[in-house]
Amino acid sequence: MSLKTTFRNGSILTPKGFVTGHSLTIEGERIVSLDASETASAGEVIDLDGGYLLPGFIDTQVNGGGGVLFNDDTSSEAIAAIGAAHRHYGTTGFLPTLISDELEVIDAAMRATERAIEDGVPGVLGIHIEGPFINEARKGTHDPAKFRTLTDQSLKLLSSLKHGKTLVTLAPETATSDDIRALVSAGVILAGGHTDASYGRMARAFDEGVTGITHLFNAMSPFTHRAPGVVGAALENQSVYCGLIIDGRHVDPVALKIAVRCRPHDRFMIVTDAMPTVGSKTKTFMLQDKLIRVENGVCVGPDGTLAGSDLDMATAVKNAVEMVGLTLEEAAVMASTAPARFLGLDAHYGTIAPGHNANLVWLDHELNLKASWQGGIGIEGHKAAA
Nearest residue to 87 via CA among 277, 352, 360: 360
Is it the case that residue 40 has pLDDT exceeding 80?
no
Task: Print the domain residue range for 87.
Answer: 56-342
Task: Tell the burial category of 152 from Cβ atoms under 10 Å away from its Cβ (0-12, 13-18, 19+).
Answer: exposed
CB atoms inside a 10 Å sphere around CB 258: 12
Report d(CA 9, CA 248) in Å as an integer.
Answer: 33
Q: How far is CA 6 from CA 31, 51, 171, 182, 316, in A?
A: 10, 15, 47, 46, 27
148-184 residue pLDDT tens: 999 999 999 999 999 999 999 999 999 999 999 999 9
Task: Please tell me whether residues 146 and 67 are part of one structural domain.
Answer: yes
- Residues 68, 211 share a domain: yes
pLDDT, tens digit (0-9, with 9 covering 90-100), for 355-378: 999 999 999 999 999 999 999 998
Q: Do 77 and 47 share a structural domain?
A: no
Whether 217 maps to a domain, the answer reads: yes
Instruction: Tell whether 129 and 243 lie within a shared domain.
Output: yes
Q: Are strands 4-8 and 23-27 parallel, antiparallel or unpaired?
A: antiparallel
What values do phi and psi take at 196, rounded to 5?
-110, 25
Note whether residue 20 is domain-resident. yes
- pLDDT 10s digits, 52-62: 999 999 999 99
13 and 101 co-located in one domain:
no
CATH code at 48? Answer: 2.30.40.10
Per the model's pLDDT, the better-predicted residue between 171 and 43 turns out to be: 171
Q: Is the pLDDT of residue 195 over 50?
A: yes
Q: How far is CA 245 from the centre of its chain?
A: 10
CATH code assigned at 125 = 3.20.20.140
Instruction: Give the pLDDT band (50/70/90) at residue 316.
Output: very high
Give per-residue pLDDT as tens, 287-303.
888 899 998 888 999 98
Residue 297 lies in a domain: yes
- pLDDT tens digit string along 220-279? 999 999 999 999 999 999 999 999 999 999 999 999 999 999 999 999 999 999 999 999
Does 49 share its domain with 136? no
Cβ within 8 Å of residue 218, ≥6 positions away: 140, 245, 250, 251, 306
Long-range own/partner contacts, residues 37-45 (CB < 8 A, 24 or more apart): 38/8, 38/9, 40/6, 40/8, 41/6, 42/4, 42/5, 42/6, 43/3, 43/4, 43/5, 43/6, 44/3, 44/4, 44/5, 44/6, 45/5, 45/6, 45/7, 45/8
Task: Indicate whether 21 and 65 sit together in one domain.
Answer: no
The one-letter amino acid at 202: M
201 and 316, same domain (yes or no): yes
How far is CA 134 from each of CA 53, 131, 192, 245, 337, rounded to the nearest angstrom?
39, 6, 9, 19, 28
Please give the tally of structural domains in the chain: 2
Q: Which of 168, 81, 147, 75 is nearest to 114 (CA)?
A: 75
Determine the pLDDT at residue 385.
42
Strand 30-35 and strand 23-27: the pairing is antiparallel
Average pLDDT of the residues in 327-355? 97
Q: What is the pLDDT of residues 75-98, one digit of tens each?
A: 999 999 999 999 999 999 999 999
- Quick one: pLDDT at residue 1? 54
Does some domain include residue 230? yes
On whether both 50 and 160 belong to a single domain, the answer is: no
Same structural domain, 48 and 164: no
Whether residues 78 and 40 fall in one domain: no
Contact 311, 273 (CB under 8 A): yes
Nearby residues of 359 by Cβ (< 8 Å), 6 or more positions away: 55, 56, 92, 93, 349, 372, 373, 374, 375
Mean pLDDT of the chain: 95
Please identify which of the residues 196, 273, 310, 312 carries the catalytic annotation: 273
pTM of the model: 0.96
Active site residue 273: yes
Residues 270 and 364 in one domain: no
- Tally Cβ neighbours within 10 Å of residue 220: 27
Instruction: Return the amino acid letter for 37.
Output: S
pLDDT level of residue 386 (50, 70, 90 thresholds): very low
User: Residue 287: its pLDDT value, please?
Assistant: 87
Residue 133 has phi, psi (to 5 degrees) of -90, 60
- Quick one: pLDDT band at residue 382, thresholds 50, 70, 90? low
